Structure 1
């Protein structure tokens, strides 16, 4: 999700701009500015000094915001991903991916610092920093492709979080009232309740949403571990792993990337720092916290539940009040995330249709149309697990693994060539420049990550598409409504054991087993 944290210069409120007294070129038009425009800006901006924003965030607070951006809905599916990959393989892949995305976040931060130190127009407010990085690195077409990729990612995340929030609410209704409500109807209700918030111009005061999202996720992690410890004696001895399948390994990679990939927001968050050059500290802090949150949850899921886990670890927690407390916390996170993720996507579409900035009927039509599109996809694919794998394996792999390394080696080559030759370039670096001006260790690491990202992301995407269309296929809601349906599930707990029927809760009931989930 892509948003900025400065209330005075909110990324989705004001158009990308710079002070016209300094230059006639806005940051959105920066890619087409002539070199003479850049030189004229130097009279007012001292480019020899690092960018400093006195009203910005320090590196520690920025790190916490990055955690809030990343940690959320994906965490409930992480244990399943680890088990899909056969624990030790999955745990190693998880650690490697955290290291990879930490490095790609680092080089993405360096890329934005190159823009700040090379083109003065970026020292003013910029609405779309990530596409600007792509445009400066590889040209206007790349800028457009990055923008499209981010929008597709935001749309996919919106669908996943809408499904997850609806599923959690359904489980809460079962637990607290004993009744049930169709999941397909709940999707419509949640979307209808969110729609009025989407009519707001931009969530200028929603910076606190990220803080609350981080707090709710942290509390959910603690409760997941506590609930797993309580279930340990009953379930550990009978837990087992499913047979290893290479397609399951690729699916798990998609889930893992969904859980740690939020790089499209990083340049925007970095731009709101007091000293963007300290973003590296924020990255290290954020991913260290993430590792301490994610890895214990994965280990406990494996040790306690094994292959009785399904899409989410929440229903496997057998202590009902803990299970539902986790449900509430993750649902709050999903709803807060949805209100933020929807906004940039909606404003992007409004730009295409030239919708006025002020509230009006055009905004209502456009934003309602986008919500309808999200609901349609959610009702068409009423299971969030495979869809989460698809988003993680495709667009999130691009924005979080492949593009940061690709853009950095091009921008670094451009910058070093300029420093060595003393002649500012007017065109992006060529591949020859990339090979000539990048340090070899950096070049080799970035190329290796790009190749791994392409192969792993491609396989994960293919496996997720197969999963969506075959083994995990559920009838769309608008088709199943015309068919005779079995009675609604009344139990909300996925019990453990080979037959998924073991529980230590007095008079506890188990949900219907799904023994073929991993096959």
Structure 2
């Protein structure tokens, strides 16, 4: 959900292996990719297929493959930029906007910066809302009950100190924790669905999708494969950045390996009984459901740090907050979490926020801008003959153009459906400011 996750840190970097400096290995980088992207989006995929029908399974593989290729394309963009501008091999706190600037100048840089903020901040809202929903249901099974609106406050208070941390290479263990918790939760859900399949499949019904539900489901699938805006951050923290393409390949193989069987099994077994959060559709009071809830809460906590830290760093840089840990950083990030809570309390439905982010900024950052920037960078010639134009094979130009076209059309339609869903008066009847 994944997050779908951007900017980088204030530390010395060089292309290849930095002398005297440690960096992420390709395997650890792939762990970050899988653990960071898989999350809230994974829980919503089965419901997305309920909204799209079996075509959703095709879209899952299609967008997964395209997202991986776009992530690889984005990594090549950064390598091109670094090779042309050696000064960027040192301190770069915002690699994605820097790529946009080198490709098209300030207008695209500003667009990328704003889109990244909305994407990452919106993903943070999704994590808080889903965590509140998970802990509400978990505690309810123990005989205690408290409305979700209050749990949002509790979760925000717990997660806020976690956002004070630095960058991926400073907390590599968080990426490992996110992946391990996700895989274990995935196993719990698969085991539960398999155990109860014969009971639930009898009553499962599958309604054909409509035009509106088709694009709502598509936006969820887009969200589940988001995260490319954070890839330059991870790439910059690697000891050998040229190997990031390998990390993307293995990271997305891990994602699809988890996504496909769980989504298909959930859809076949539960059908129209599915809810935005797959766990909520599982048999109440079961061990595997409770275990999955705890593990996903751990994943969301660790993923939030990876997702939100980069965008906070760029904002702090723009207003003069030092990159090291300090009181100003803590106050600023606490204020951002308060804003996060206000949005969550207004529309306390993680699925609606997820759909909006998935269809808009996440689609832009993951599927549209990377191909556009790559085609632009490879076609540029230096006026001083510092570098030559890079030749892109025809098949790749056609593939990238097709990705841009389909993502643009699908993203606009998905965003329209998501906005219409949020603006529906029924969406505000559950607002915490009304119901509590």
TM > 0.5 between the two?
yes
Describe the superposition over 1:220-250 as per-residue Cα deviations: whole angstroms up to 9, x where unpaired: 1111110001111111122111232111111
Structure-1 residue corresponding to 2:189 = 224
Q: Residues 360 and 329 from structure 1, CA distance in 2 versus in 1: closer, same or farther, beyond 3 angstroms? A: closer
Which residue is 1:505 aligned to?
A: none
User: Deviations along 1:73-122, whole A, 9 cap, x unmatched?
Assistant: 111111111121012x1111111111111111121111111122222122
CA distance, structure 2, for counterparts of residue 3 and residue 466 of structure 1: 28
1:177-203 CA distance string (max 9 Å, x none): 212011001101111223334455668
Q: Distance in 1 between matches of 2:193 and 2:340?
A: 34
SS at match of 2:202: helix
**8 A Cα contact 1:77 1:255, kept in partner:** yes
Q: What's the counterpart of residue 434 of structure 2? A: 479
- Give the one of 445, 448, 453 matched to 2:407: 453
Whether 2:367 is the aligned partner of 1:423: answer: no
1:83 corresponds to which of 36, 50, 55: 50
**Residue 31 of structure 2 corresponds to residue 69 of structure 1:** no
Q: What count of residue pairs does the alignment treat as equivalent?
A: 429
Indicate yes or no: 2:289 matched with 1:289.
Answer: no
The residue aligned with 1:25 is none
Partner of 1:327: 293
Matches within 5 A, 1:220-299: 220-299=185-264
- Whether 1:462 aligns to 2:416 is yes
Q: Deviations over 1:361-382 (max 9, x none)?
A: 6445433321111001000011
CA distance in 2, matches of 1:360, 1:294: 39
* TM superposition shift of 1:255: 0.8
Quote the Cα distance in structure 2 between the aligned partners of 1:131 and 1:295. 33
> Counterparts of 2:242 and 2:165 in 1: how far apart (Å)?
33
Matched, 1:194 2:156: no
- Over alpha carbons, which structure has the higher Rg? 1
Matched-pair contact (CA < 8 Å) for 1:386–1:472 = no
CA distance in 2, matches of 1:69, 1:295: 18
- Identify the structure with bigger relative contact order (alpha carbons < 8 Å, sequence gap 6+): 2
Residues 1:100 and 1:209: Cα distance change in structure 2 (over 3 Å): same
Q: Are 1:162 and 2:128 counterparts?
A: yes
In the TM superposition, what are the counterparts of 1:358-507 in structure 2 within 5 Å?
A: 362-414=328-380, 417-418=381-382, 423-424=385-386, 438-470=392-424, 473-475=427-429, 476-481=431-436
Quote how far apart the aligned CAs of 1:283 are: 1.6
Q: How does 1:116-127 map to 2 (within 5 A)?
A: 116-127=82-93
Deviation string, structure 1 residues 400-449 (Cα, Å, up to 9, x no partner):
000010000001112xx45xx98137xxx9xxx99xx6443222221211
1:472 Cα offset (Å): 5.5
Q: Distance in 1 between matches of 2:305 and 2:217?
A: 27
Work out the CA distance in 2 between the residues paired with 1:407 and 1:204: 26
**Against the structure 1 CA distance between its residues 184 and 53, is the aligned structure 2 distance closer, same or farther, given a 3 Å change threshold?**
same
Question: CA–CA distance in 2 between the matches of 1:286 and 1:399?
Answer: 18
* Residues 51 and 123, structure 1, Cα contact 8 Å, conserved in 2: no
Native 8 Å contact 2:230 2:307 kept in 1: no
8 Å Cα contact 1:349-1:366 kept in structure 2: no
Residue 140 of structure 1 pairs with residue 90 of structure 2: no
Let me know the Cα RMSD of the aligned residues: 2.5
Question: Contact conserved, 1:56 with 1:272, CA < 8 A, in 2?
Answer: yes
Query: Which residue pairs with 2:81 in the alignment?
Result: 115
2:427 aligned counterpart, secondary structure: coil
The verdict on how the C-alpha distance between 1:130 and 1:234 changes in structure 2, with shifts beyond 3 A counting, is same
Q: Structure 2: 5+ residue runs without aligned partners?
A: none
Instruction: Supply the distance in 2 between the matched residues of 1:367 and 1:282 (Cα, whole angstroms).
Output: 30
Q: Distance in 2 between matches of 1:357 and 1:407?
A: 28
CA gap 1:359/1:438 in 2 versus in 1, 3 angstroms? closer
C-alpha distance in 2 between matches for 1:131 and 1:189: 34
Q: Secondary structure at the match of 2:136?
A: helix
| Runs (5+) with no aligned partner, structure 1 | 5-10, 19-44, 482-519
1:268 deviation in Å?
A: 1.8
CA contact (8 A) 2:233 2:310 kept: no
Distance 2:187 2:426 in 1: 30
The separation in 1 between residues aligned to 2:290 and 2:53, in whole angstroms, is: 28
Q: Would the aligned equivalents of 1:51 and 1:116 in 2 still touch at CA under 8 Å?
A: no
Alpha-carbon distance change, 383 to 101 in structure 1, aligned in 2, over 3 angstroms: same
